[in-house]
Amino acid sequence: MTEALAPKNLVMGLPLVVGAISGGWGGLGWALIATVLCGGIPAAVIALGVRSGRFGNRHITTRSERPQLIAVLFVLVVVALGLLVVLGAPQVMVACVAIMLVTLAVLGPVTLAGWKISFHTGVAAGSVVMLAAVVPGGWVWAVGAVGAAVVGLIGWSRAVLGDHTPSQTVAGAAAGAAATWATLAVLL
């Protein structure tokens, strides 16, 4: 669960799913901008950082390694958001990337302040809320039910691995879901 549904995978996959659901092939084109800037480039930065020894591992478990990475992520998401707005992307894709920025703005300071809130559960819970907002009406409850179970399993896996306490995973999920819901309430 930790590897398959890591934040980078969700950040790269969510825009593609949202784009396909909301705009078909054209939506996938917009989604590629978000996927590359918000997920692909950060994944490459992390991989290069691990390879060079700058980061201890791809989950950036050492707190002192996080500030610069969070700053890079923030800049890339702002660039993606600005590009989508300037190019006239559909509002749902703008909202998808804005959610990434708001979630990073909520979770980043918490973890930098010393409490290791779970980005895994935060991004996963936010992804569930975003998907529930774009799927056709009859699928909302299924997305919510399956999504809640998956977020719970991710939280369990993070705690079992010793990367987070149960409270850090629950707080991450709550913060990610709330940040996404609030962003959608404003933008859609």
20 domain-assigned: yes
Rounded mean pLDDT, 17-37:
94
- Asked, for residue 1, whether it belongs to a domain, the answer is no
Contact 15, 77 (CB under 8 A): no
Domain hosting residue 115, numbered range: 7-187
Residue 180 lies in a domain: yes
112-144 pLDDT per residue, tens: 898 999 999 999 999 999 999 999 988 999 999
pLDDT tier for residue 149 given thresholds of 50, 70 and 90:
very high
68-109 pLDDT, tens digit per residue, is 889 999 999 999 999 999 999 999 999 999 999 999 999 999
Whether 150 is in a domain gets the answer yes
Number of domains in the chain: 1
Residue 114: predicted pLDDT? 87
Residue 112 domain flag: yes
Q: Is residue 120 part of a domain?
A: yes
**pLDDT 10s digits, 30-65:** 999 999 999 999 999 999 999 999 999 888 878 788
In a domain, 104, yes or no: yes
If pLDDT is split at 50, 70 and 90, which confidence band does 110 have? very high
Closest alpha carbon to 129 in 18, 26, 43, 48: 18
φ/ψ region of 118 (left if φ > 0, alpha if ψ in -120 to 50, else beta) reads beta
Residue 51 lies in a domain: yes
- The alpha-helical segments, DSSP class H, found in 36-65 are 41-52
